[in-house]
Amino acid sequence: MKKLITLLFLLSVLVSNAQSIYDKEFKINGLLGDTVELNSFKGKKVLIVNVASKCGYTPQYAGLQKLYDAHKDSLVIIGFPCNQFMSQEPGDATEIHGFCQKNYGVTFQMTEKVDVKGSEQNEVYQWLTQKSLNGFDDSKVKWNFQKYLLDEEGKLIAVFPSNVKPQSTEITNLL
């Protein structure tokens, strides 16, 4: 019994020490030259997704848009275009924006093209993938359309691989 109490105490300490993305003042350029300030999303869940226009998972843009439309009062979706997986996002900002608008009617937030892994990894993705920074778990971005879900306080609560569709129960049950 004493071991169980100790284990529960340690677990509660770990949970309470989970770090918030809002502890940092992350700012990133938006796809159209605006500035995306993550701190402005406090109080909403945030789904961060690395996206690409020429990927087998690209049709997930439609699901992301439907998810956003259904939950936009309580959910922010941020697409981070990335060209690191078989060069599946070769376009510039104008081309990416045009593709997303024409094919999927995307209205959720999109950032400039970034690296989500490697030596030039964007600082948001450094936070998302390192337990020492996010207090939740270590992860590696394995492919386009990997998803990271943050709670209303900016704490990482789930990581979903590319094959988990945006409107899946795994995601919607956490909204």
Contacts of residue 13, Cβ cutoff 8 Å, sequence gap at least 6: none
State the pairing for strand pair 35-37/27-29: antiparallel
Tokens encoding 81? 């275009």
The one catalytic residue among 31, 38, 47, 55: 55
Alpha carbon separation from 161 to 5, 16, 22, 139 (Å, rounded): 34, 26, 24, 10
Q: How many Cα atoms occupy the beta-carbon half-sphere of 76 within 13 Å?
A: 22
For this structure, is 55 an active site residue?
A: yes
Instruction: Classify 164 as helix, strand or coil.
Output: coil
Which residues are tagged catalytic? Answer: 55
